[in-house]
Amino acid sequence: MPLRNRNSESGSAATAGLLALLIVILVAVTVYVFATNLYPPPPTITEVGKAVDHQYFLTLCVTGTVFILSQLGLAYAIWRFRDRGQPAHFTRGNNTLEMVWTTATIILFLGLGLLGRKAWAEVRFTPAEPDAVRVEVTTNQFVFNFRYPGPDGKFGRLDPKQVSASTGNPLGIDENDPAGKDDIVMPTLTVPVNHQVELLIRSQDVIHNFYVRELRLQQDSVPGMVIPIHFTANQTGHYEIMCTQLCGLGHYRMRSFLDVVSEADYQNFLKQQQQGAAQ
Ligand SMILES: [Cu+2]
């Protein structure tokens, strides 16, 4: 096989230059999208939401800086070390550099985690206020059901054998438990504004998720567990609830709505539902 003349097919700056330029353009477009806030999230309606947004911003600053520096470094290396017909150079790497960027990554990740811990813990690890509105959220393929305890303030016992969506008992409320007689089950969630709400999240089949963007709240529902979270919405409105776990073929249509209403409207809603149940 004849030896090729390396110099005749190397040394083209065009390929390396084009690739480096593409990377620089990619970085510029990405920075533009984030810096101009091209796709802003809907404004939050909770105090905790502000802490979550602040945490997102911090994370974006840190990961954005790393992204910009590493991509520009890559573009530089592609250009600087392009093929000029020189012999390949073997390197075993640089232990000091490896140590530095591994340690820096650990510190950044742990630091961001520790900073975000407060907002996370406030929603999940502190008990709800005693006068919080309690609503049980049950997920199944592919619907949400919301249960209110009714005037007695007690949820009726659940009996899996009595689960029967077609006869109007999707949750399997035990017929023999008097506490369950006044329970209200709704396909959407209605809560009062400026009043703490505690959700007790459960699942009947697979792992689903309860997510409302405006609450900045996202929680998996896990079969066999009741997961409590709480929030206080400070603005009335109609918001979308969605399942963010890929839970099956109908996942794309698994959604519901959250209505945040005034305290008076909330009492009216409860009264109407109770009358409906009594009829
Ligand atoms: Cu789901």
Task: State pLDDT tens for residues 139-173.
Answer: 999 999 999 998 888 999 999 899 988 888 999 99
Cα 253 to averaged position of ligand 1 atoms, centre (Å): 9
Cα 147 to averaged position of ligand 1 atoms, centre (Å): 18
Same structural domain, 21 and 49: yes
Cα 244 to averaged position of ligand 1 atoms, centre (Å): 7
Please compute the mean of the pLDDT values over residues 91-100 and round it to a whole number: 92
Phi-psi region of 85 (alpha: psi -120 to 50; beta: other; left: phi over 0): left
Of the residues 105, 124, 143, the one at which a domain ends: 124
Q: Does any domain span residue 6?
A: no
Same structural domain, 148 and 249: yes
Cα torsion angle, 193, 263, 230, 201, sign: negative
Phi, psi of 207, rounded to the nearest 5 degrees:
-75, 125
Cα 79 to averaged position of ligand 1 atoms, centre (Å): 48
Cα 168 to averaged position of ligand 1 atoms, centre (Å): 21
Cα 254 to averaged position of ligand 1 atoms, centre (Å): 6
Q: Does any domain span residue 3?
A: no
Task: State pLDDT tens for residues 188-197.
Answer: 999 999 999 9
The contacts found for 104-111 with CB under 8 angstroms, 24 or more apart, are: 108/62
Residue 175 has pLDDT above 60, yes or no: yes
Same structural domain, 268 and 156: yes
Q: Which domain CATH number covers 239?
A: 2.60.40.420
pLDDT at residue number 147: 95
pLDDT at residue number 119: 84
Tokens of 96: 């000091």
Cα 146 to averaged position of ligand 1 atoms, centre (Å): 15
Cα 255 to averaged position of ligand 1 atoms, centre (Å): 8
Q: Is 84 exposed, middle or buried (0-12, 13-18, 19+ CB in 10 A)?
A: exposed
The confidence band for 204, taking pLDDT boundaries of 50, 70 and 90, is very high
Cα 241 to averaged position of ligand 1 atoms, centre (Å): 11
Cα 199 to averaged position of ligand 1 atoms, centre (Å): 17
* DSSP 8-state class, residue 270: H
Phi, psi of 200, rounded to the nearest 5 degrees:
-110, 105
Same structural domain, 236 and 139: yes
Cα 109 to averaged position of ligand 1 atoms, centre (Å): 30
* DSSP 8-state class, residue 4: P
Between CA 135 and CA 201 the distance in angstroms is 9
Is omega for the bond preceding 142 within 30 degrees of 0, making it cis?
yes
pLDDT at residue number 115: 87
Q: State the chain's mean pLDDT as an integer.
A: 91
pLDDT at residue number 1: 46
Cα Rg of the chain (Å, integer): 28
Same structural domain, 176 and 62: no
Cα torsion angle, 25, 31, 33, 36, sign: negative
Same structural domain, 156 and 197: yes
pLDDT at residue number 277: 62
Same structural domain, 20 and 119: yes
Q: Does any domain span residue 106?
A: yes
pLDDT at residue number 213: 96
Task: State pLDDT tens for residues 64-78.
Answer: 999 999 999 999 999
Same structural domain, 70 and 156: no
Cα 167 to averaged position of ligand 1 atoms, centre (Å): 22
pLDDT at residue number 90: 87
The confidence band for 86, taking pLDDT boundaries of 50, 70 and 90, is confident
The confidence band for 13, taking pLDDT boundaries of 50, 70 and 90, is confident
Which has the minimum average pLDDT: 108-122, 230-244, 258-272? Answer: 108-122
Residue burial 174-202, b: 16+ Cβ < 10 Å; e: rest: beeeebbebbbbeeebbbbbebbbbbbbb
Tokens 């990377």 sit on residue: 23
Residue 215 has pLDDT above 80, yes or no: yes
Cα 137 to averaged position of ligand 1 atoms, centre (Å): 12
Q: Does any domain span residue 7?
A: no
Strand bridging mode 217-221 / 208-212? antiparallel
Cα 267 to averaged position of ligand 1 atoms, centre (Å): 30
Cα 201 to averaged position of ligand 1 atoms, centre (Å): 13
Beginning with the edge strand found earlier in the chain, give each strand of the sheet holding 237-242 in spatial order: 189-192, 255-261, 237-242, 208-212, 217-221
Same structural domain, 50 and 150: no
**pTM of the shown model:** 0.83
Contact (Cβ atoms closer than 8 angstroms) between residue 45 and residue 233:
yes
Same structural domain, 164 and 242: yes
